[in-house]
Structure 1
Amino acid sequence: MAGYILRRLVSTIAVMVMVGIFVFLLLRLAPGDPAAMIAGRSATEEMIAGIREQLGLNDPMPVQFMHWVGDMLAGDFGTSILAGRPVLELLSQRLEPTLSLAILTMILAVTIGVSFGVLAAWRAGGFVDRILTGFSALGYSVPVFVIGFFLIYFFAVRTHWLPVQGYVPMSNGIALWFMHLILPTVTLGLGFIAFIARVTRASMLEVLSEDYMRTAVAKGASSYAMLFHHALKNAGVPILTVVGISFAYLIGGVVITETVFNLPGIGRLVVDAINNRDYPIIQSVLILTSGLYVLINLTVDLTYMLIDPRIRY
């Protein structure tokens, strides 16, 4: 078990090193000069050269890379080229809306997706199963922004039940905070609900066909005990995998939803940074997002050992 954990940690570090190299080279080799964008259209060549020297863009790439990695390890993610403020300060201001949306969406997706999947597997071929199949196809095929605009039109414009867009911090009241996140959460969560429900259904069907499940039925086990105590536990590995993958994709995929609902999250910050070639913000967000993605995968892999003891050996 200790050897397995050590191997996963080593592979995680190797992945993060490769991600860092890729992010650094991708931005440096892309067309465009951030110094020219900062200086403006009327700037002279001398002004642009001075800005490049100030930002360290004239140093060789290996030197720039080592400086960048050293600063990050020291907790310094740089200063925004355009805003002139520390990147971590800008990220901390945008973190709450993104995390709120991601966590609420994941709670909704796991709760409804797993429940629907278990129910559909229990009544395979029945009415609920057919409804789930149609809902899954709809969740996969309809783009997020289309769902968002439809929900805004019906629940905000026509009925005035919910706010159209914007974000209210949790410190201003839980009720207002929650009301402003209902539509974005449902918009972003429908596709993940469909994905998790389909995987749960397939995994549960496989487990329900096993001999030990028929033995449990023959011994008079209740439907609840059979589904949630026996079947769901043994079907947990693929479900846990898809939940981890969904949460990782969710963190990096909130840009469209934040744009549709005008949420001041990290996704909007990244879009603005890309448009303005703000290297420090782009690099920091990509590295932090990649690190979170790798950490989620590592956590899921280690959790497998709790669900399936065979993985420990």
Structure 2
Amino acid sequence: MMKIEGIAAFVAVVEAGSVSEAARRLRLSKSVVSERLAELEKTLGAMLVHRTTRKLTLTEDGAAFLERAGRIVREMEDAAADMAERRGTLSGPLRIAAPVSFGRLHLGPALYPFLKAHPQIALTLDMDDRRVDPASDGYDAIIRHGAIADTRLVAWKLARSRRLLVASPDYIERHGKPGSLSDLNDHRGVFYTNRGAADWRFQTEEGAVVIRAMLGLGINNGDMLHDAAIEGLGIALLPTFIAGPTIRDGRLIEIDVGAKPEPEFIYMAHPEGRNPSAKLRAIADHLKKTFGDPPYWDPDF
């Protein structure tokens, strides 16, 4: 007879990419996960994954079995959570991906009181600035900063995000302070590379305008982008949830070029067609209330 523990082990191994990582997520030993996977394969009479020292890949049988196996595991988890929620308790596993800088500065401090109040929620929070696909990467939801573009996702806005062009006093003293969009073309920029092209996008009365300043430095992390701007390496377009304190204390100076950057949001998104759990909705409501509108990190300067 097929055991649910074996199916769960198989799904976890595929989503994690290795037995070791699956064992960490399941809070089991590596040997237990391997044994459960081997027992499932024996029961099915088919090899589900190819194992090598470097990587793990699905067999043809494994790929065919994965979709239904994942559905079974989610249904079991949702059933257990529904029973707990009927008793007024939020419980069960939850896996969310979030960006590093926002997570460290604001998401973590907002989540800790919620998790303390709901100790039966088993939250795994993966901090990574790369763009992830919640469905294929096994997340219940993602939290992201930016424009909401993926139509395969259902997005809930948690907070508005105000972004400002900034530079250090040292940079402005050496290179001057731009006063218009066209002036930016003669300046060095520090760009967030996870957005793709090294450019800045602004709203004007004539429509959207894209500015491509000279590349001073490209970085895929918001904290380091902030540090590079403070060190005078170029002009940066930074959200106030990162740059607010350093603008207030004068280490960074806001640059007004007569146009505002395109609007962005902090949002939570889950795959389309997947019914979000009560605990995910509760976390989203808690974060929205905690961040506020306008968000607490966005005072007037």
TM-score by length of 1: 0.25
> More relative contact order in 1 or in 2 (CA 8 Å, sep 6+)?
1
TM-score by length of 2: 0.25
